[in-house]
Amino acid sequence: MNGGFPAVRPRRLRRTPALRRLAARTSVRAPDLVLPLFVKEGISEPQPVASMPGVVQHTRDSLRKAAAEAVEAGVGGVIVFGIPAVKDARGSAADDPDGIVQQALRDLVADVGDATVLMADLCLDEYTDHGHCGLLTDAGDVDNDATLARYAAIAVAQAQAGAHVVGPSGMMDGQVAAIRQALDGAGYPEVVICAYSAKYASAFYGPFRDAAECAPRFGDRASYQQDPAAGDALREVLLDIDEGADIVMIKPALPYLDVVAQVAAAVPVPVAAYQVSGEYAMAEAAAANGWLDRDRVIMETLTAIRRAGASIILTYWAAEAARRLS
């Protein structure tokens, strides 16, 4: 203290916008952002998703347009989710070379090619009639090891269609190893695996399940996705890296920033975080009511996720934020 006044004054660095900019340690850049996109088979017009204002289920054509605009805005990549016209017990459409995601990937390869990173979500829940992320046993449990063969086939189909990155999101044990082996065996050693490594059984996926039409018909995902109260994130992440994951992902983002920080401090690979549908819906709903300043909330949450240590962020605001950042 200096005559009763503080000599050390953190506020000095906050006085002008230029000082604050100089003192910043965290930045959000357009190429850090990845835009999730939904493409639905057999529709002729894009369908709005009621619980995600501004998000639609795309036709093949509207998907091309949305991806081109996102690339134009400077995003780092897009990740495609497919909704097939027909679902069955084994999710046959997921690895059909003419399945909706494979068709969409070929469209995007033709349009934007290597100008962006084309990612494909690799899971079964959008494709199975029961809505679970794997094959079921007769007793109705998700059969881990039988599911791995399905994931291997989907990975190869997505690679064949031109995905640069596959994103296994089903949380089966051994999925990354099975997919790496399949990709290498099929002649795709260059295809990247971005593993949803720490993925929690979260209520924040609610709106996504409307968008992707993949809510489980019975039960829940608690026997394969992580328990929010468990301490197994690092174990899951290290296993995935050991099995060949090139990028590891934490999901959801904002309620799990402690996990993002813990993982980012521990691993030598890029860490991604998925700002999920419920995070988006909460902010959009509050903003629509005039309760939150939407634009500031978007940038503040993205900054917080980057500050926690994620280098890549999957967010439904990716194109909009990228436009604002560039």
Using CB under 6 A, list all residues that contact ligand PBG.
121, 123, 125, 169, 205, 208-209, 221, 276-277
Backbone phi, psi, residue 142, to 5°: -80, 120
Q: Closer to ligand PBG by CB, 64 or 199: give it.
A: 199
Q: Give the nearest distance from C-beta 115 to ligand PBG in angstroms.
A: 25
Number of H helices, E strands in the chain: 11, 10
Q: Give the nearest distance from C-beta 44 to ligand PBG in angstroms.
A: 25
Closest to 171 in 3D by CA, of 247, 242, 222: 222
Q: Give the nearest distance from C-beta 199 to ligand PBG in angstroms.
A: 7
CB 242 within 8 A of CB 173: no
The pair of structure tokens assigned to 214 is 């993949």
Q: Closer to ligand PBG by CB, 59 or 315: give it.
A: 315
Backbone phi, psi, residue 117, to 5°: -105, 120
Distance between CA atoms of 69 and 22, rounded to whole angstroms?
31
Q: Give the nearest distance from C-beta 251 to ligand PBG in angstroms.
A: 7
Please report the sign of the dihedral spanned by the C-alpha atoms of residue 312, residue 315, residue 317, residue 318: positive
Q: Which sequence positions are flagged as catalytic?
A: 199, 251
Q: Closer to ligand PBG by CB, 129 or 184: give it.
A: 129
Residue number closest to ligand PBG, CB atom: 208
CB 302 within 8 A of CB 27: no
Packing angle of the helix pair 257-266, 294-308 (nearest 10 deg): 30
Q: Give the nearest distance from C-beta 252 to ligand PBG in angstroms.
A: 7
Q: Closer to ligand PBG by CB, 79 or 241: give it.
A: 79
- CA-angle at 243, arms to 122 and 212, nearest 5°: 15
Distance between CA atoms of 56 and 49, rounded to whole angstroms?
5
Q: Closer to ligand PBG by CB, 276 or 322: give it.
A: 276
